[in-house]
Chains A and B, each alone.
Chain A
């Protein structure tokens, strides 16, 4: 393992429309274990932001505590970041978003951070439909404290130490759909081709977008018998279909036949192109999305891909009817009613 990050770039390295190379979207050198799934997700975030020509300073990345929550240091070093407290990333992101609605908010959490200590905040940020990308790097294990089962570990999954998990797992993806999340997808850290388009679609989604990404822990949960190991996920992965994200919509022939391409046009002219594998599943129907997840679960499979999307979500600022100008840019002229008004208020208390 090296502790020095190479600054060398080939002069012909491609640049995006803003003139930045993908390296500009990278972060500090990761201190996670070599082979950690989380690093692949960080790389996918870098690639998605690069390809979408996102201005790094228009992104805020926030996290809770745990291995997953360390990752915002390892991508987008030109964005402000906030590594907060355990399980509370949603609250901090909510406040940040209320202060400035013009930025894009990427929240990173893990299965301990989301499904245990932060379960309440996970549920309530979904209820509020905060405009953010919520990424759960899900490995079924507490890595930083060396290998305890988490609440997403499957019943019967065997830990590295050999113990068998007796508890029911919390299925974050179906829970998110149930709670009303307006965009829910599931993926695997090892499947970059699937992950990058899903990330792009999530970043473009004007409401709460949840990505539950199975991301194996190479050190504590990659052993035989674990249902979150690289081998298990590769062998038990079923896909809703191949997903592409098209930033600006180009006309595509609609088709809903199994195995063929269908297109979900989005609010701003962009589109999600789906190559559906299962004709029973309709990504705009919550019931069918949950059914698809439960069917896969019965087959002991991990269903990946886009699961559910509500194309016209009503996000928190719309609910509140907050002003278009970010609240952090308002000054005393707008905010302070002044002494004349105060005189009138005094009068009401005489």
Chain B
């Protein structure tokens, strides 16, 4: 294998439009170097989507970081790798095979490439990353870390990343640890210099500054969820660690530790409890919600299974709380570091007996923030658990998002809670009495009034005055009221997004959550090919009238989701009594985020 290789000049220049993948070893500090690469492109005003494809492992196994750059602004995943940066011998054969013909393969040329790794249809770029690093840095850990920064430097020279953009990112990345900036810049420069000295032919992938980002931010969904909980007034967070939800709780704690400390006493205006398991986590959230604090827990599929019994109690005893389920690939332990939308059913009908839960489906970090805050209002308005159903792709990957905004005039909607003054004027109080005809009763917090408003909360059947009953009539009346309340929720939850003012086609496409990115790109590509589809993005369960109308006004509707069993489609069939033949499944469930291609080839 000859190194360095001559780089052929290509005819079709990919300007601000390519997919690059980094193949690293887990636990070698590659994440921050790869982030530096993606963030610098973002700083150049070019739409970029980084995705971490990581193993369930702390150190040693292969991990990948995939960055899609799209001048047109498509932020979903795209198959086909134009550029591979290989720093992991373990995964090298597969990594070489995955490069599309005509693409590039950058590798650490400190060691020779095996003959059998040579493909005639791709370009090889050897950079002696480790050799350069060893020469410049003494400490073993530093050598490992800066090897990664060296390839970012080399890439910046090859692809045209502005040096200043890289330095700006380093400056903000190492705020407070400024002495780390200098060696990072040095490593970048070494990569740049190596390419300058050894490569003189341009490659056909180029980056050029644009102004397509505006005031957008690059943030992951879990951080935005945690921040939304802070803004939404959550005071009690109870949780048990589980990938990929852990960073929701951590984000809440981080922002609270900054913005929820009493300036005079230094005491905390929040409680953050890492509990012994998910059963306790949800139980604590329910106890706090019952007692009038805004509370939440964050988990993933296995945790949601454990929480099911308690969710039935909260549904039946009508206790507000918020549950974040950051979905991963199930069932069981499944692929804990891969994404999926496969908890739809488990969330919607969580628990035994007749239960229906309110579920929200955010698609972007901005929606993570807004819906999280709104979820606390909804929980108290409806006196029931609200499940925020996000996924690993949205939760743990950075996404370009509109900036987060808060209306300072907004007041929390604490729902129907009786104060001591109101209780004083009341003859009698019925905790489960449907006074307003919307199925939502009034409640009291413990400790409100010395002599009025006390009631007994229970998971067993009760009458309107919270008295234990085994009367079938009383039980049925209560269950019917709960259903009425669920119907009231239809107009309180976020409305779906319609992509057209009037229908353009007999065919529609319906999607939710992170399928949005691929679906929007697919719609665009299909339109370019002359096929127009009407589209709707669902944001909540229960489905409101708009969803029903959309389906009824089309001959067939493609339902896009990232699970095997078409769970949302079933939910539509059950709840809206839609003919199954009308709903065409488009499914993706390999653990990777769905692509526009996945959709187009099934339409």
Tell me the A residues contacting B by CB distance below 8 Å.
55-58, 60, 62, 72-73, 77-85, 88, 90-100, 102-103, 120-121, 123-124, 128, 320-324, 327-328, 330-332, 334-339, 341-343, 345-346, 348-350
Q: For A87, give the chain B residue with the smallest CB separation.
A: B279
Knowing A323-B268, A335-B233, A337-B259, the reply to whether A95 touches B288 (Cβ < 8 A) is yes
Minimum CB–CB distance from A17 to chain B (whole Å) comes to: 14
Measured in the bound complex, the distance between the Cα atoms of B265 and A154 in whole Å is: 51
Measured in the bound complex, the distance between the Cα atoms of B446 and A68 in whole Å is: 22
A334 cross-chain contacts in B, Cβ below 8 A? 269
Measured in the bound complex, the distance between the Cα atoms of B293 and A82 in whole Å is: 16
Minimum CB–CB distance from B213 to chain A (whole Å) comes to: 8
* Cβ 8 A contact of A336, one of B231, B238, B265, B276: B231
Minimum CB–CB distance from B80 to chain A (whole Å) comes to: 29
Measured in the bound complex, the distance between the Cα atoms of B405 and A346 in whole Å is: 9
Minimum CB–CB distance from A320 to chain B (whole Å) comes to: 6
Tell me the B residues contacting A by CB distance below 8 Å.
172, 215-219, 227, 230-231, 233, 235-236, 238, 255, 259-260, 262, 265-273, 275-277, 279-293, 295, 309-310, 313, 403-408, 410-412, 444-451, 454-460, 468
* Cβ 8 A contact of A339, one of B282, B286, B408: B408
Contact A57 B457 (CB under 8 A): no
Minimum CB–CB distance from B458 to chain A (whole Å) comes to: 4
Which 10 A-B pairs give the minimum distances between C-beta atoms?
A: A95-B287, A91-B283, A99-B293, A328-B292, A80-B446, A95-B284, A99-B291, A95-B288, A92-B287, A349-B217
Minimum CB–CB distance from B577 to chain A (whole Å) comes to: 33
Minimum CB–CB distance from A310 to chain B (whole Å) comes to: 22
* Cβ 8 A contact of A80, one of B272, B309, B457: B457
B457 cross-chain contacts in A, Cβ below 8 A? 80-83
Q: For A117, give the chain B residue with the smallest CB separation.
A: B279
Knowing A328-B293, A339-B406, the reply to whether A323 touches B217 (Cβ < 8 A) is no
Measured in the bound complex, the distance between the Cα atoms of B277 and A88 in whole Å is: 11
Minimum CB–CB distance from A43 to chain B (whole Å) comes to: 19
Specify which of B260, B265, B283, B407 lies most central, judged by the most chain A CB atoms within 10 Å of its CB: B283
Contact B283 A328 (CB under 8 A): no
A331 cross-chain contacts in B, Cβ below 8 A? 233, 412
A103 cross-chain contacts in B, Cβ below 8 A? 291, 446-447
Measured in the bound complex, the distance between the Cα atoms of B445 and A77 in whole Å is: 15
Contact A95 B230 (CB under 8 A): no
Specify which of A77, A339, A350 lies most central, judged by the most chain B CB atoms within 10 Å of its CB: A350
Measured in the bound complex, the distance between the Cα atoms of B284 and A128 in whole Å is: 13
Q: For A338, give the chain B residue with the smallest CB separation.
A: B408
Measured in the bound complex, the distance between the Cα atoms of B267 and A98 in whole Å is: 14
Contact B447 A102 (CB under 8 A): yes
Minimum CB–CB distance from A342 to chain B (whole Å) comes to: 5
Minimum CB–CB distance from A13 to chain B (whole Å) comes to: 18
Contact B231 A342 (CB under 8 A): yes
Minimum CB–CB distance from B369 to chain A (whole Å) comes to: 9
Knowing A321-B268, A330-B269, A335-B235, the reply to whether A98 touches B288 (Cβ < 8 A) is yes
Minimum CB–CB distance from B470 to chain A (whole Å) comes to: 11
B217 cross-chain contacts in A, Cβ below 8 A? 346, 349-350
Contact A323 B265 (CB under 8 A): yes
Q: For A31, give the chain B residue with the smallest CB separation.
A: B468
Contact A88 B283 (CB under 8 A): yes
Knowing A98-B271, A330-B269, the reply to whether A91 touches B279 (Cβ < 8 A) is yes
Minimum CB–CB distance from A37 to chain B (whole Å) comes to: 22
B267 cross-chain contacts in A, Cβ below 8 A? 321-324
Contact A336 B283 (CB under 8 A): no
B468 cross-chain contacts in A, Cβ below 8 A? 73
Specify which of A58, A92, A103, A324 lies most central, judged by the most chain B CB atoms within 10 Å of its CB: A92
Minimum CB–CB distance from A336 to chain B (whole Å) comes to: 5
Contact B269 A121 (CB under 8 A): no
Measured in the bound complex, the distance between the Cα atoms of B403 and A92 in whole Å is: 37
Minimum CB–CB distance from A19 to chain B (whole Å) comes to: 11
